[in-house]
Chains A and B, each alone.
Chain A
Amino acid sequence: MMRKDDFDYAIENTQVILAPEQQIATFGTTSFHFYLISELMDRVDQVRIRNGKIHAERPQILTPEHFSHLLLEGFGDKAQRYADQLREYARNIAVLRYGFQFRKTNVTEETIRDSVDAVVTRTKRRVEDAEEPLSAVIQGVDDAWEVCLLKFTIDMIERSAGGNFGDLRKHGLI
């Protein structure tokens, strides 16, 4: 089982080398292709590349009340104060839910004997040359690679939220 330290280490040591040019679409599903590069834990100069797809659902608008309920369900007492504040300021708050789907079975991987820097550089160049606007190159931690993908989704939300918010406002939805 993964410990909190392992989780934190993976988050801190994940770097999105090349982010997709496209962001999470406001009004539809977006499928990102990732190349996740990591050094093997116990071998020198052996690098693994996993590639697969991660699907971002259309961002959903939640009412603050519904979000408060979800918070309490997931986090219990610690979330109580935050949930109360949300209710208090409900009129001034919009909540977006971002959902991601990922199938482990669709991930393929290869192991290469080279330095991680060389593999990162080569993969980045390959993706750039191929003009893949939905592809990402990520450098992460081998045995916690799913956490690295989690970090990637957070980055994608950060990059997309402003555009999504603007789109929704333009359509009068929030």
Chain B
Amino acid sequence: MAQTIGARDGDADHTVGTIDLRNRVTAFRFARSERYLTLSLK
């Protein structure tokens, strides 16, 4: 599953990224979960 989100740097709006939900079996049980956010540096 992926979800696009926007992020803002306070003094410049040069970040729009994609967030990926990465839920393995252990993650879904929530012992630990991770999300990845990609940010454009342009």
Q: Does A133 contact B (CB under 8 A)?
A: no
Across the interface, which residues of B come within 8 angstroms of A166, CB to CB? 9-11
Q: How many residues of A contact B (CB 8 A)?
A: 35
Across the interface, which residues of A come within 8 angstroms of B28, CB to CB? 146, 150
C-alpha spacing A98/B20, complex, angstroms = 11
CB distance from A166 to the nearest CB of B (A): 5
C-alpha spacing A104/B29, complex, angstroms = 9
Inter-subunit contact B38/A93 (CB<8 Å): yes
Q: Which residues B11-42 have CB closer than 8 A to chain A?
A: 11, 15, 17, 19-24, 28-42
Inter-subunit contact A154/B38 (CB<8 Å): no
A87-98, CB under 8 A of B: which get 1 and which 0?
000011111111
Inter-subunit contact B31/A162 (CB<8 Å): no
Across the interface, which residues of A come within 8 angstroms of B39, CB to CB? 93-96, 161, 165, 174
Across the interface, which residues of B come within 8 angstroms of A161, CB to CB? 5, 7, 15, 17, 37, 39
C-alpha spacing A115/B8, complex, angstroms = 38
C-alpha spacing A149/B27, complex, angstroms = 12
B interface, CB within 8 angstroms of A: 3, 5, 7-11, 15, 17, 19-24, 28-42
Q: Can you list 18 A-B pairs, Cβ within 8 angstroms, ordered by A?
A: A67-B36, A91-B41, A93-B41, A94-B39, A96-B37, A96-B39, A97-B37, A98-B35, A99-B33, A100-B30, A102-B33, A150-B30, A157-B19, A161-B7, A165-B15, A166-B10, A169-B9, A174-B39
